[in-house]
């Protein structure tokens, strides 16, 4: 496993079997490593080769600060066709220009987890396709449960928000690269608030933000522990995807959904651009969610048409409908 960083002394705290005197500067033999260094404006100039605890991750990047999006960087490099040896994980301890779904800003506060990974898939899209969207959310919930000893049981708000109760604690992004029917590679971005709950302007979609340290049982979680737990969960869930397709992930996603049985309203993305919800007009759909279908569309009670897109707001907080 190769590690790249802009700060060896800081990176040692996140690594196993490493000390600050093992690092080399400017030694990046693979084309992908060199491209990574260039893409991050030369920041991860130090490298070290470690004996891996497992054989899944080939390259890990630890950045004390980056002003470019890790997710966009990996997505662009993978899309450019530069070959990479295997799964790559990028951890940024702080940064700027990070974003969530559809480019919405994501505050990258030091003390929180900001990870993007690129993973070879090489599976038929009909077999694995929708599982690629579910996997990072399910893996993130696995990691939170592990590092809190099960004290925190987070959930998923359709389609990619991570919540505790109804307070957002994180979010995930997915970009797949395909050739014909084969999904060759995927890039996942995962952000989880550990020590800081960034200030937000509340909306019907995100009424409140939380962090793990603010929740009972999450006070001792560190970036290091959650990072390694997340990498292990991604590797484990990736193996499950290859073994049984999306079936296991769909069961987990449904079981951890905060929207099933709840009354929701869903708006077109373009309709809710105005700051004042009174200007949004009529929702695209509203009703009680009966189920989440295999394609992740919402099935509303008494309505034949599935909901396949839009922004979802939970209606009547803290009330579960039967």
Give 10-residue mean pLDDT values along the chain (322 residues): 86 70 76 87 80 76 89 93 90 82 76 96 93 97 97 95 96 95 96 94 91 97 96 97 95 97 93 84 94 97 95 70 34
What is the predicted pLDDT for the residue at 318?
A: 46
Does residue 295 belong to any structural domain of this protein?
yes
Domain housing 277: 263-314
Q: Are residues 290 and 203 in the same domain?
A: no
| C-alpha distances out from residue 1 to 23, 73, 119, Å | 13, 20, 14
Structural domain includes residue 321: no
pLDDT for residue 28: 67
**Residue 19: predicted pLDDT:** 58
The answer to whether position 89 is within a domain reads yes
How many domains does the chain fold into? 2
pLDDT number for residue 302: 95
Predicted local confidence at residue 307, as pLDDT: 97
For residues 115 and 222, state if they share a domain.
Answer: yes
Q: Please check whether residues 65 and 184 belong to one and the same domain.
A: yes
* CA-based max dimension of the chain: 65
Query: What pLDDT was estimated at residue 100?
Result: 72
Same domain, 145 and 272: no
Q: Is 244 found in the same domain as 182?
A: yes
Phi, psi of 212 (to 5 degrees): -60, -35
Give the CATH number, domain containing residue 141.
3.30.930.10
Contact 152, 211 (CB under 8 A): no
Give the domain-ending residue among 255, 274, 304: 255
309, 286, 285, 287: which is closest to 296 by C-alpha?
309
Domain boundary among 211, 230, 255: 255
Residue 322 lies in a domain: no
Q: Which of 133, 77, 71, 76 lies closest to 100 in space, CA to CA? A: 71
Residues 51 and 101 in one domain: yes
Query: Are 163 and 196 in a shared domain?
Result: yes
pLDDT at residue 320, rounded to an integer: 41
Rounded to the nearest 5 percent, the helix, strand and coil shares of the chain are 30, 30, 45
* Strands of the 311-314 sheet, one edge to the other: 298-300, 285-292, 263-267, 311-314
According to DSSP, the β-strands at 46-49 and 24-25 are antiparallel
Same domain, 251 and 272: no
Is the same domain home to 186 and 236? yes
Domain stops at, among 255, 273, 300: 255
Residues 250 and 290 in one domain: no
Question: Whole-model pTM?
Answer: 0.92
74 inside domain:
yes
According to the model, what pLDDT value does residue 321 have?
34
Query: Per the domain annotation, does 140 fall within a domain?
Result: yes
What does each C-alpha distance from 159 to 32, 82, 257 come to in angstroms? 31, 31, 9
224 and 269 in a single domain? The answer is: no
| 17 and 144 co-located in one domain | yes
């Amino acid at each position: 496993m190769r590690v790249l960083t802009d700060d060896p002394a800081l990176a040692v705290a996140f690594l196993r079997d490493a000390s600050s005197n093992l690092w080399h500067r400017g030694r990046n033999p693979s084309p992908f490593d060199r491209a990574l260094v260039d893409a991050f404006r030369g920041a991860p100039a130090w490298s070290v080769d470690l004996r891996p605890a497992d054989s899944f991750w080939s390259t890990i990047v630890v950045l004390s600060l980056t002003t470019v999006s890790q997710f966009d960087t990996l997505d662009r490099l993978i899309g450019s066709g530069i070959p990479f040896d295997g799964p790559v994980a990028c951890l940024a301890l702080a940064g700027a220009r990070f974003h969530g779904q559809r480019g919405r800003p994501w505050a990258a506060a030091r003390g929180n987890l900001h990870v993007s990974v690129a993973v070879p898939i090489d599976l038929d899209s009909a077999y694995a396709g929708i599982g690629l969207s579910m996997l990072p959310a399910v893996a993130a919930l696995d990691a939170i449960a592990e590092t809190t000893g099960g004290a925190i049981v987070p959930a998923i708000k359709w389609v990619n928000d991570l919540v505790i109760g109804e307070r957002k604690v994180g979010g995930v992004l997915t970009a797949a690269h395909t050739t014909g029917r084969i999904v060759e590679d995927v890039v996942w971005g995962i952000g989880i608030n550990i020590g800081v709950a960034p200030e937000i302007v509340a909306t019907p979609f995100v009424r409140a933000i939380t962090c793990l340290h603010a929740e009972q049982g999450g006070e001792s979680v560190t970036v290091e522990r959650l990072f390694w737990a997340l990498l292990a969960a991604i590797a484990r869930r990736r193996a499950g995807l290859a073994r049984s397709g999306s079936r296991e992930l769909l069961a987990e996603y449904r079981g951890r959904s905060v929207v099933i049985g709840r009354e929701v309203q869903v708006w077109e993305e373009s309709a809710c651009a105005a700051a004042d919800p009174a200007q949004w007009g009529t929702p695209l759909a509203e009703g009680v969610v009966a189920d989440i279908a295999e394609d992740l569309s919402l099935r509303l009670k008494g309505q034949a048409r599935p909901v396949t897109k839009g922004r979802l707001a939970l209606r009547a907080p803290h009330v579960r409908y039967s």
